[in-house]
Structure 1
Amino acid sequence: MGFFDAFFKEHQRTKSEEIYDNALQIFNSPELQNQALSGELADKVRHGEDCDVLPGAYGRFGHDATNPIPVNGPSGEFVYLSRLRLRRTGSMVFFHKAGQVGNLDVFELTNVSGKFVDRLYVDMYHPRCSRRYPDGYTLEREAVFPRGVTTTLADFPKGLYKAIKKEAKLRLGIDVAEKESDCIDVPAVQAALDQLRQKRPAAPIMKPLK
């Protein structure tokens, strides 16, 4: 290998590292995420309540529409949910946006085996992500690889890996995804989600927050 070949390879390696470093910085900086917002959404996020729990919220944090998780815009949803792990096993969870209840976004979550499924309510009109986490979960200190999407996948979790890479390219400037998201037991997850939707359908807020 000649000098110029070695120099070129070193330059390329450094450039790749720089791209990953920039993506990681964006992934963990609400300030940078908020700077990318525009219009009415940017105004609502930047002037929203800076809190870990909404004032007047009641019910189970994250699990009830009356106590949603505060985050900063769609990027905040992307980041916060990618940091969640199951408390009992330490397993990563994967997600997509299942719908909306009023101004709240509703996310469905699962693990790689499909033995776990859940639903969480998120309020994205805040300047940062909550430091709290719902019962049954823990929250990693920082996000490393994205594990879900803020869009709806009709056949979730089928096609999730590619969808994550597409959203990561949009939000982070690089098409990355947690590799385990390509190994999810799709039939098991879909069967479990069907049961969840029948047993515990997403319900509208019955009364306003106090």
Structure 2
Amino acid sequence: MDLWEAFRQSDKNRTRTEQMYDDAFALCNSPALQNETLAPAERTAVENGLPCDRLPEGTGPFGTAATNPIPVNGSFGEWMYLSRLRILATGSKVFFHKWKTDGVVDAFEVINRSGTLRTVLYFSPRHPYASRYCPEGYILEREAVFPRGITTYSSCFPRGLYKEIKKEARRRLGIEVAEEESKYIEAEIKQ
């Protein structure tokens, strides 16, 4: 029995819905479980990657320079890292979508609910776990609870983000969950 099967063993006193949410919460907060869900090629690259919180060869500001990306465990690690990120000054949650991939670095457009922050963060997705550090001006929550963005590109970001988050959650977690605040992002799309 692998780790995922052991994880799925349910307590008979719990409802199916309660167990699904508990399973999803555990998956969101366990790099080992996350890595098991990755496609074979991505999983191999992640598991054979350098375990680190910062890339030894990184130059420039951590996370905000493509030359110093945040190490994470694949696309699942990107999704959960960003879903735990908050703005240090206000404690505001951030919302995101994948803006582009350049070689082995993924760039995510990040926005807060009011639209006063709109920036790009860079990730190196071939590591066995996500960094415990965050870019200057941000903090990380201890646990991920609800996803706040998507790991694909959205041409109308942030419009329709809530529905897109629920689709990705359904695919990755088996349940449709999303950060409720993502329904109310007031930012205008730059034309």
1:56 aligns with 2:57: yes
Offset from partner CA, 1:5-56 (integer Å, 9 cap, x none) = xxxxxx9972211110000000101101111123221111000000000111
Give, in whole Å, the separation in 1 of the partners of 2:80 and 2:149.
Answer: 9
| Larger Rg belongs to | 1
Q: Mapping of 1:24-35 within 5 angstroms?
A: 24-35=25-36
Q: Mapping of 1:36-185 within 5 angstroms?
A: 36-185=37-186
Give me the identity figure in percent.
53
Cα distance, 1:164 vs. partner? Answer: 0.2
Provide TM-score, normalisation by structure 2.
0.91
Q: What amino acid maps onto 2:68 in structure 1?
A: N
Give, in whole Å, the separation in 2 of the partners of 1:49 and 1:85.
Answer: 26
Give, in whole Å, the separation in 2 of the partners of 1:12 and 1:182.
Answer: 34
Give, in whole Å, the separation in 1 of the partners of 2:112 and 2:104.
Answer: 27
Give, in whole Å, the separation in 2 of the partners of 1:15 and 1:38.
Answer: 27
- Higher fraction of helix: 1
Provide TM-score, normalisation by structure 1.
0.83
Give, in whole Å, the separation in 2 of the partners of 1:15 and 1:70.
Answer: 35
Give, in whole Å, the separation in 2 of the partners of 1:131 and 1:96.
Answer: 21
- 1:6: which partner in 2? none
How big is the alpha-carbon RMSD for the aligned residues of Structure 1 and Structure 2? 1.4
Secondary structure of the 1:35 match is helix
Secondary structure of the 1:115 match is coil
Secondary structure of the 2:43 match is helix
Give, in whole Å, the separation in 2 of the partners of 1:173 and 1:20.
Answer: 9
Give, in whole Å, the separation in 2 of the partners of 1:52 and 1:40.
Answer: 22
Give, in whole Å, the separation in 1 of the partners of 2:170 and 2:88.
Answer: 30
Q: What runs of 5+ residues in structure 2 fail to find an aligned partner?
A: 1-11
Q: What amino acid maps onto 1:105 in structure 2?
A: D
What is the aligned length? Answer: 180
Q: What amino acid maps onto 1:99 in structure 2?
A: K
Give, in whole Å, the separation in 2 of the partners of 1:186 and 1:140.
Answer: 24
Give, in whole Å, the separation in 2 of the partners of 1:13 and 1:71.
Answer: 33
Give, in whole Å, the separation in 2 of the partners of 1:27 and 1:33.
Answer: 7
